[in-house]
Copies of this chain bind each other. A is one copy, B any other.
Amino acid sequence: MSKDSKIPNPTIQRLAIYSRPLEILLESGLPVMSSEKLAGLCGVNPAQVRKDLAYFGEFGIRGVGYDVRDLLQAIKGILATDREWALCIVGMGHLGSGLVQSENFKKRGYMVKAAFDSDAGKVGRKLACGLTIQSASGISQTVRKLGIEIGLITTPPHEAQRVAHLLQEGNVGAILNFTTIQIRTRKKCVIENADLSVKFENLVYHLEQLDKV
């Protein structure tokens, strides 16, 4: 299967969404699924499903549907979620502490290998997951040593840029930034923003619009 880097971002995001019901269907033993049904489960129109999947070659059997196992396998291959990834989390506040303990990450192959904080009062504290909080000053070395590929930043905003540099010095390839700051990178590094306050602002804006109708 070709992995074309020109696949549009929205398609990649929808592939992740398609994989959810497929996982459930596979577990419940359903072998085949139509694009109409998959579309319905995902809140997308069927033509969009077919168009998205067509980027990756032929999965469907006309008039029957998609083989659930094959399709899921293919999507996971495309998304590179068929392997384990090594993560670290920097910032052991409420959000970071919640994420470090998430069973969902582990289930999906995202293994949290290290947790950092800049607060000396937190360093050395043992977490329920078995990790011990390490000092943020050692990020670059530890990350490099453990081969950590993805860094999550859940620090206060003013620490985020500095942490991002330390992560990159340690050769992290991707950063998921939960702070309100836009991070700039020196080297090639994938940055995704997961700032919840932006989600909220989007939500309340539309809520206000709704109230006016």
Contacts and interface: CB of A to CB of B under 8 A. Distances in A.
Contacts of A176: 199-200, 203
A42 B104 contact: no
Contacts of A199: 176, 192, 194
> What does DSSP make chain A's interface, helix, strand, loop or mixed?
helix
Contact of A204 (B80, B188, B211): B80
A97 interface: yes
A82 B9 CA distance: 33
A197 interface: yes
Which 6 A-B residue pairings sit nearest by Cβ, starting from the closest?
Answer: A98-B98, A16-B201, A80-B208, A94-B98, A16-B198, A190-B206
Given A94-B102, A192-B203, 13 more contacts: A3-B209, A5-B212, A17-B198, A19-B201, A20-B180, A42-B182, A80-B207, A94-B99, A150-B203, A174-B204, A174-B207, A190-B206, A190-B210
Interface of A: 3, 5, 9, 12-13, 15-17, 19-20, 41-43, 78-81, 85, 94-95, 97-99, 101-104, 108, 110, 149-150, 157, 173-174, 176, 180-182, 184, 188, 190, 192, 194, 196-213
